Structure 1
Amino acid sequence: MTKSEINKTEYTNEDNSNRTWINWGSIARDLRKSGFATELIGVEANESHAKKALKIGLVDRIETLEDGVSDTDLVIIAIPVNSELVVLPRVLDLIGSGTTVADMGSTKKVIVDLVANHKRRRNFVPGHPMSGTEDSGPTAALEGLFKGKIAILCDQEDSGPQHIALIEKLFQMLGMDIAYMSSDEQDHSTAFVSHLPHAAAYALANAVQAKEDRKIIFDLASGGFRSTVRLAKSSATMWHPIFQQNREYVVESLEVYIKHLIEFRDCMKNEEDDKMLALIKNANKIRTILGGENPHFRKNEEKLTKLYTK
């Protein structure tokens, strides 16, 4: 282990939400496997989760927050974003001048604004790895969860270059590409590609459950329905505060989505079959967009770069 790599990494999950274990548990697995960290320390309010994480080797030991951040090179905060409003300032108060702090939250602007004037602001790197599952608990942590996915770093000009370099290296060790955005751009973009799909899945699940004969419907549920509604299993503890903190942009995304739902509904209602077919064919273009075949939707290489550190 070289001096430039991590000797002690502390993972903060000081919350009762087991959904956050997917992110930091999966990160812990990959960073241990890669040799990026020599010691992994966990902070966890849920005693049973803490014991399980220790038993299966996600962490080497469990500590209080105060002891966990002491003499630690890197602190990763992976908790629901409402809890982060309390925990992040505490962590910045406790760390030394050389410690790097990164968060993994899905919203950024509210969090960044909260610590804008903190004396350790430059130690903090706002991050968001764009990957996860709807499963829960320490045992749901997966190796390779982030490989080939995109990690967002926000407002990098407000973080110290050595701290940015360390988190860049962390994400690169996970096999991720890195996108650089302002915290506002991050919130706006994720409202459409992450938060809207979850809101739509919750609404779809509620719509089907509202049917009087829903038992028959569920008996008939096929793979298409299950894959569409899968996100509705995601933790309320995690997603409720995301919707709260990114309310403006999620509402915007829902309004756009509802507009297209109404258009599709009206085509069927008014028997505008040719228009309905055109809408379906237009939607089919998402296949080539997601496959990277459409140059207008390819990764912006000016913002997606790999900066490897020594």
Structure 2
Amino acid sequence: MNVTIIGLGLIGGSIAKDLRKCGFATSVVGVDANEKHAEEATQIGLVDLVLPLDQAVAKADLVVIAIPVDKIKVVLPQVLDLVSDGTTVTDMGSTKKALADAVDGHPRRRNYVAAHPMSGTENSGPTAALEGLFASKIAIICDHEKSGPQHLALIEKMFQAMGMDIAYMSADEQDHSTAFISHLPHAAAFALANAVQDKEDRSIIFDLASGGFRSTVRLAKSTPSMWGPIFQQNKSYVVESLEVYIKHLIDFKESIQNDEERMYDLMENANNIRSVLGGQNPSLIKNEEKIVKFYTK
């Protein structure tokens, strides 16, 4: 399997590590507009070599696009123009509808499988790549009926090789869901970091910062060049999620001010998240109508 990975940062690099380790990929060719990243990726063995886009996809069996979503929107149609009829193309973008719409009428639309592996860290660049980053996580495949069966099967096999479960949903459903469980936490972390930095004696605050603050604000270290386009492409659903979050913040603030009993009720209700995240109520985590344990033959 000749695999070409466009974008050699955290996601692309981690995919390269996993696909090489499990034997899914016999060769890995990289593409990266950042010359420093391209050099690093070669030096640390993420890829066998780095080539220009046209050369890298010419003989690829599989092309994985792992760059910011605004760049995917431009590069994805170019890749479909360049690949052979038998080549499978997928992307790892956190938004899906804008990307799927960009190639909806493309002659090779069936070569493309819209996907989003639900995993990552706040770090970036080739040296951030981690082996096993995707193990036991969920990969979302969107609008699978628009992909050719052989291309869908290959991407399913790729995610299985990386140890992932697979959820199937429409591009719009995925954008709505990830607005709440992925995009909102990042937006809240950026706002929290700015709120603390806005305090005049912030140096004292940072001296006192403990694990709770650090873990809460960790996502604010994420790269703006990646997250800005995500917020913009999924603007309506991100705004919706923020409005819901702000409503709950205001409710909690007012309970602190005016109603101590309600304050405790809100905190106890929030504690129910333990059973969700701890797997005690699987129906709240995995909708079995969406996550399918059998795959395309």
Q: TM-score, normalised by structure 1?
A: 0.94
Unaligned runs of 5+ in 1: 1-5, 14-19
Q: Residue 266 of structure 2 corresponds to which residue in structure 1? A: 279
Q: Residue 301 of structure 1 corresponds to which residue in structure 2? A: 288
- Deviation at residue 308 of structure 1 after TM alignment: 5.0
Alignment pair present for 1:39 and 2:27: yes
Deviates more, 1:177-186 or 1:297-306: 297-306
Distance 1:128 1:308 in 2: 17
- Check whether the contact 1:172–1:306 (CA below 8 A) recurs between aligned residues: no
- Check whether the contact 1:80–1:241 (CA below 8 A) recurs between aligned residues: yes
Alignment pair present for 1:251 and 2:239: yes
Q: Residue 72 of structure 2 corresponds to which residue in structure 1? A: 84
- Deviation at residue 300 of structure 1 after TM alignment: 1.7
In the alignment of these two chains, the number of paired residues is 297
Distance 2:252 2:238 in 1: 21
- Check whether the contact 1:168–1:307 (CA below 8 A) recurs between aligned residues: no
Alignment pair present for 1:113 and 2:107: no
Distance 2:238 2:131 in 1: 31
Pick aligned residue for 1:235 from 218, 223, 227: 223
Q: Deviation per CA, 1:73-93, whole angstroms, max 9, x where unpaired?
A: 000000000011110010000
Q: Deviation per CA, 1:37-73, whole angstroms, max 9, x where unpaired?
A: 0000000111111111001110001100000000210
Distance 2:192 2:294 in 1: 41
Pick aligned residue for 1:26 from 4, 11, 14: 14
SS at match of 1:142: coil
SS at match of 1:105: coil
- Deviation at residue 306 of structure 1 after TM alignment: 3.0
Q: Deviation per CA, 1:101-157, whole angstroms, max 9, x where unpaired?
A: 000000001110110000000000000000000012211110100001000000000
Distance 1:33 1:276 in 2: 50
The ranges of structure 1 where at least 4 consecutive aligned residues each deviate by more than 4 angstroms after the TM superposition are none
Pick aligned residue for 1:131 from 106, 119, 122: 119
SS at match of 1:305: coil
Root mean square deviation of aligned Cα: 1.1
Unaligned runs of 5+ in 2: none
Q: TM-score, normalised by structure 2?
A: 0.98
- Deviation at residue 299 of structure 1 after TM alignment: 1.1
Residues 27 and 113 of structure 1, relative CA distance in 2, 3 Å threshold? same
- Check whether the contact 2:115–2:141 (CA below 8 A) recurs between aligned residues: yes
SS at match of 2:6: strand
Alignment pair present for 1:11 and 2:32: no
Distance 2:295 2:106 in 1: 28
Q: Residue 166 of structure 1 corresponds to which residue in structure 2? A: 154
